[in-house]
Structure 1
Amino acid sequence: MKEALNFQGNELNYLDTLFRIGYALFLIPSQIILLKIRPSIWLPSLECAWGICTGLMAVMPSVKGMYALRFLIGVFEASSFPGITCILCSWYTPAELATRLAIFGSSYPAAQIFVGFMQVALHEGMEGHLGIPGWKWLFIFNAMMTIIIAGFGFFLIPDSPGVTRVFWLTKEENELSKRRMTRMNKLAQTPFTWATVKKIFSSWVLWVFMGAYSTLGWSQNSNTWITLWLKAVKNVDGTNRFGISELNAIPIGGYVLQIIAMFAFAWASGRFGGRYGWIVAQQMTLVVGNIILSVWPESFAVKMLGFYILWLNHAAGAIMIAWMSDVCPSPEERAVVIGVACTWLYVVDAFANSTSPSRPRLLVFRI
């Protein structure tokens, strides 16, 4: 795509930055809207719009059109992670929540694994089919799958215990879920007022969680460099060491490690308690990986080890959110706290991304 659209300078970075700006601007409004409109209506609607914009990227002839679409994709995606996270917080107990959040969080590395194989298949099997380049087929398939899955969301997303209308829960199961969360001191949703906002912003939970979660998010960008680095690795004769299919396939192993680590650490935090200790253990893997890449040793294998170690720390986010949910009984507080933390993460990340001309970053598209 970079070569086909003749990206120059920091244009690839700006695409990523505009996505993050759209995400940051719409995240808190989306969280508030979720308190007014059923998630089973709001979330799939925005996901459908996301899919349409992704499909349109296949027909954009220049980077200027891509800029507008990437901004809109950020706007429509802003509801996804924080919105689904809030739903999970309303349905699971403290012993269960971190594992369920890890299962949900694993959808990202699982999607990257799937996309990696799909990119290889499209490049080798559909490059030039019907006169369309392989990278455009990727956007087309992304759009089709997203819209189909979003359609299921209208019928499958359960909203909240006691008010859900999904067909796959009986009335008795719905009431059981409501009683179960009441025993765990999880409150039912109440009207969202300015008094609610004042209470949330005067609470220590918001500021501590925002600081910890946003810092965690910034620290997890390191492994996104691996594809750009592999693309620059040369053989002795000066030719590229890895082809396009290999560039898409090599990171798959890292995402497999990420899924395994997310399940293991999140389950352990719920089973044995002590969320702080499990978060610290996760972050130590990040420290080791970043030290290796900061030193930048001569050995190709050691640098690969450094990149792969960075995939081991992603369960920390699920554990941190579960911990926050333990001390935030109301859905309104959880929605705003998660929204503010994610917004701050993306605001700083967008600024850091756009002001680093000598350090280009990988542009990642989500399914």
Structure 2
Amino acid sequence: MVIKSEYADSQQLIFTEKTTYSKVFWRLLPFLLSCYIVSYLDRVNVGFAKLQMLDDLGFSEAVYGLGAGVFFIGYVIFEVPSNMVMMRVGPKLWICRIMITWGIISALMAVVTTPTSFYLLRFLLGAAEAGFIPAVLYYLTLWFPTSQRGKATAIFMTGIPLSGVLGGPLSGWIISGLHEHGGMAGWQWMFILEAIPAILLGIMCYFYLNNSVDSADWLTEQEKAMIKADVAREAKEKPLHSTRDGLVNPKVWMLSGIYFFFTMGLYGISFWLPSIIRESGIKDPLTVGLLTAIPYTGALVFMVLVGRSSDRAKERRWHLAAPAILGAIGLVISIIYSHNTTGALIAMTVAAMGILTCIPQFYTLPPAILSGAAAAMGLAIANSVGSVAGFVSPYLIGWVKDATGSTDIGVSVVAVALLIGAGLVLAQPARLLNR
């Protein structure tokens, strides 16, 4: 009878744990995912605006590339300070502030007339958005222990491909359908309309999110106690806890260096995919937008499958390195078929599947060795270093395009960066990454 009673208690505990984290998941993830989709779309929709605004404003490819990349200078400068403020005022208020200010600045992109105004607003957009991703990832550590966080992080990171699946056709439709409506160009309408959701979601953040488990009136006391106990128990097992650990520990900087090379690939795809598709022979902005959804759809499926496999096997190195290698192969093939729409699209789909899968797989690593303030600072450092690549990658491709008339050399450099990142991952001891 005792054995049966213990078994029943064990089964009840498993059931309670499952239902508790399911409740937290469905409360937080759909909303945070929506915020990330809007965030990423407002960051990279300049790639669609480029289809019209360069001709309208007389900008060169290098001006576009620099403007796309200047975003990350503001992002890098304010990333760590942003997370320091977030730790003081709480995630709810700070995520609210981030979203409202970036929405306003994104809408102001519609009034750009000169390279200087383009650079300034892109810089301010980066400064406004700085801290969003590490703030949300830190926020998830308050609600999910590692055993539950892998799925939550993977779902949140699907915001990148989802922004392409949804945003590509939307941006293409706005640019094509509203061009010269009301005396404004299609790209101006796109910036204004796609900024509105960020402002509305930012206001919702303040009323919808809770700063802590204790303040969540939608959880029972038993559920709150379980979550806090799980998170606290896990934190004791991690070697790095303090703000100083997150800022200066060599392991944090090693991981950040790896992320730099993967981010080269991410923004190479994000800022230049519409242009690469247009160069293959497609001219209509709506058709370009619809076709960009194909690589992102493939990436979405592949990202989820690899994430599940990684969690199930508790293996991180090859689940991170192999997609990077796949992404590099896809980029090289896209160069070979650069003037063939079908071939280029298939190659870019392969590239997007590999590159975009690297991002959620990478973000399972820092929380494996960091907790508390160290997690907040470590995630900010990694994101800042990656953002440097976000500046380098689009500017490099734009500069090469102006100099040679082709993006091939720039895309090749991005492919090499992905291979370097994969090599650095495989050079790390398995015990560090496989957690």
TM-score above 0.5: yes
Q: Hey, what's the Cα distance between the residues in 2 that align with 1:100 and 1:136? A: 35
Q: 1:281 to 1:36 in 2, by over 3 A?
A: same
Matches within 5 A, 1:81-100: 81-100=133-152
By how many angstroms is 1:233 displaced? 3.1
Give the alignment partner of residue 327 of structure 1, picking from 369, 378, 396: 369
Instruction: Tell me whether 142-151 or 87-96 shows the greater mean CA deviation.
Output: 87-96
Q: C-alpha offsets along residues 72-117 of structure 1, whole Å, 9 cap, x if unaligned?
A: 1000111211111111133223233222112111112212222222
- Listed as ranges, the gaps of 5+ residues in structure 2 are 1-52, 411-435
**Match for residue 235 of structure 2 among 178, 185, 193:** 185
Distance 1:252 1:231 in 2: 14
Q: Secondary structure of 2:93's partner? A: helix
Q: 1:166 to 1:142 in 2, by over 3 A?
A: farther
Question: Bigger shift: 71-80 or 122-131?
Answer: 122-131
Aligned twin of 2:276: 229
Taking the aligned partners of 1:309 and 1:198, their CA distance within structure 2 comes to 40
Moved more, 39-48 or 178-187: 178-187
Deviations 1:201-260 (A, max 9, x none): 5534212211222222123344343321222234xxxxxx43111111111011111111
C-alpha separation between the residues in 1 aligned to 2:269 and 2:295? 9
Is contact 1:22–1:72 with CA below 8 Å preserved after alignment?
A: yes
Q: Which runs of 4+ in 1 moved over 4 A?
A: 294-300
| 2:298 counterpart of 1:251 | no
Residue 208 in structure 1 maps to residue 254 in structure 2: yes
Structure holding more helix per residue: 2
Q: Report the CA distance shift for 1:47/1:304 in structure 2 as closer, same or farther (over 3 A).
A: same
Q: Partners of 1:139 and 1:202 in 2: how far apart?
A: 39
Q: 1:200 to 1:141 in 2, by over 3 A?
A: closer
Residue among 288, 302, 305 paired with 2:343: 302
CA drift at 1:181 = 1.3
Aligned positions, number = 348
Give the letter aligned to residue 185 of structure 2.
Answer: P
Q: Which has the higher contact order (CA 8 A, sep 6+)?
A: 1
Tell me, in whole angstroms, the C-alpha distance in 1 between the residues paired with 2:351 and 2:72.
Answer: 22
Change (3 A) 1:291 1:186: farther
Bigger mean CA deviation after superposition, 79-88 or 221-230: 221-230
- Kindly state the Cα deviation for residue 351 of structure 1 after the two structures are TM-superposed: 4.1
Instruction: Structure 1: state its 5+ residue gaps.
Output: 235-240, 363-367
Q: TM-score, normalised by structure 2?
A: 0.73
Q: Structure 1 residues 171 and 127, CA, compared in 2 at 3 Å: closer, same or farther?
A: farther
Moved more, 165-174 or 13-22: 165-174
Residue 315 of structure 2 corresponds to residue 263 of structure 1: no
**Cα distance between partner residues in 2 of 1:144 and 1:352:** 28
CA distance in 1, matches of 2:279, 2:150: 38
The one-letter code sitting in structure 2 at the alignment partner of 1:168 is: W
CA drift at 1:275 = 1.7
Please say if residues 71 and 123 of structure 2, whose CA atoms lie closer than 8 Å, have aligned partners that are also in contact: yes
**1:354 CA drift (Å):** 3.8
Pairs within 5 Å for 1:80-119: 80-119=132-171
Of residues 36-45 and 281-290 in structure 1, the stretch that sits farther from structure 2 once superposed is 281-290
Q: Kindly report the root-mean-square deviation, in angstroms, between the aligned alpha carbons of the 2 structures.
A: 2.7
